[in-house]
Chain A
Amino acid sequence: EPEVTQTPSHQVTQMGQEVILRCVPISNHLYFYWYRQILGQKVEFLVSFYNNEISEKSEIFDDQFSVERPDGSNFTLKIRSTKLEDSAMYFCASTAGTGTIQTRKAYEQYFGPGTRLTVT
């Protein structure tokens, strides 16, 4: 079964450094998302992306964050200047959308395995 992949699985960075988290959504999916989960807390929405632009973002997704789909397969999350509080697990997800596959699966959200970001 197709799956969402993420790299790296674990990244350690120093405060103030830029990091790029990478995701390869499922081929032919149209909607892409980033979520984060601070240790011991629930999963929080960061941003959704469709048709090469941000469709929705949360309060967490401030000017330090950006997303990009640089080619037909990758979807990246960049944090410009990391802070200690950015330490979390970051999940990428994708959804097919209408008409691409069976209707019952068209809006199921598929999550990647996550990237654990540690800011020191």
Chain B
Amino acid sequence: GIQVEQSPPDLILQEGANSTLRCNFSDSVNNLQWFHQNPWGQLINLFYIPSGTKQNGRLSATTVATERYSLLYISSSQTTDSGVYFCAVRNTNAGKSTFGDGTTLTVKP
């Protein structure tokens, strides 16, 4: 099956810093989503981004499907950004999602 690797596994930042999280995948994909898992365990959908670039406030994401990677950018980080960020991919439109291991982000005040 498709392999998903996220890096770095852990990231510690000071409030206000910027960061880039990476997701590499081993095969072509039709769908890619980024999620933030909050302290209560809920998966918050950040971006549905099978290709191209999207922005939502301080967050943006870019997927280069031909090179099999996606990047999540967080600018001016806040303590509320802390948590685990997951990348999930699918190689069929309505098929199962394969998740990466996640990046644990800690933003210190």
Interface residues of chain A, those whose CB is within 8 Å of chain B, are 30-31, 33, 35, 37, 42-45, 48, 50, 56, 58, 89, 91, 93, 95, 97-98, 104-111, 113-114, 116
Give A95 to B45 CA distance when docked, in angstroms.
Answer: 13
Total B residues in contact with A, Cβ cutoff 8 Å? 23
Report 14 cross-chain contacts, Cβ distance below 8 Å, ordered by A residue: A31-B94, A42-B102, A43-B43, A43-B88, A95-B94, A97-B94, A104-B48, A107-B93, A108-B31, A109-B33, A111-B45, A114-B41, A114-B43, A116-B41
The verdict on B7 contacting chain A, using a C-beta distance below 8 Å, is: no
Are A108 and B33 closer than 8 Å at their CB atoms?
yes
Are A107 and B94 closer than 8 Å at their CB atoms?
yes
Which A residues are CB-close (under 8 A) to B40?
113
> What number of A-B contacts does a CB cutoff of 8 Å give?
60
The verdict on B60 contacting chain A, using a C-beta distance below 8 Å, is: no
Are A109 and B88 closer than 8 Å at their CB atoms?
yes
Give A31 to B93 CA distance when docked, in angstroms.
Answer: 10
Q: B102 CB to closest chain A CB, in angstroms? A: 6
Give A33 to B96 CA distance when docked, in angstroms.
Answer: 8
Q: A62 CB to closest chain B CB, in angstroms? A: 17
Q: B96 CB to closest chain A CB, in angstroms? A: 4
Give A48 to B45 CA distance when docked, in angstroms.
Answer: 19
Which B residues are CB-close (under 8 A) to A30?
94
Given known A-B contacts A43-B88, A56-B95, A107 and B45 have beta carbons under 8 A apart: no
Of the candidates A33, A42, A50, A108, the one whose C-beta lies within 8 Å of that of B45 is: A108
Are B97 and A105 closer than 8 Å at their CB atoms?
no
Which B residues are CB-close (under 8 A) to A111?
35, 43, 45
Given known A-B contacts A95-B94, A107-B93, A109-B33, A44 and B43 have beta carbons under 8 A apart: no
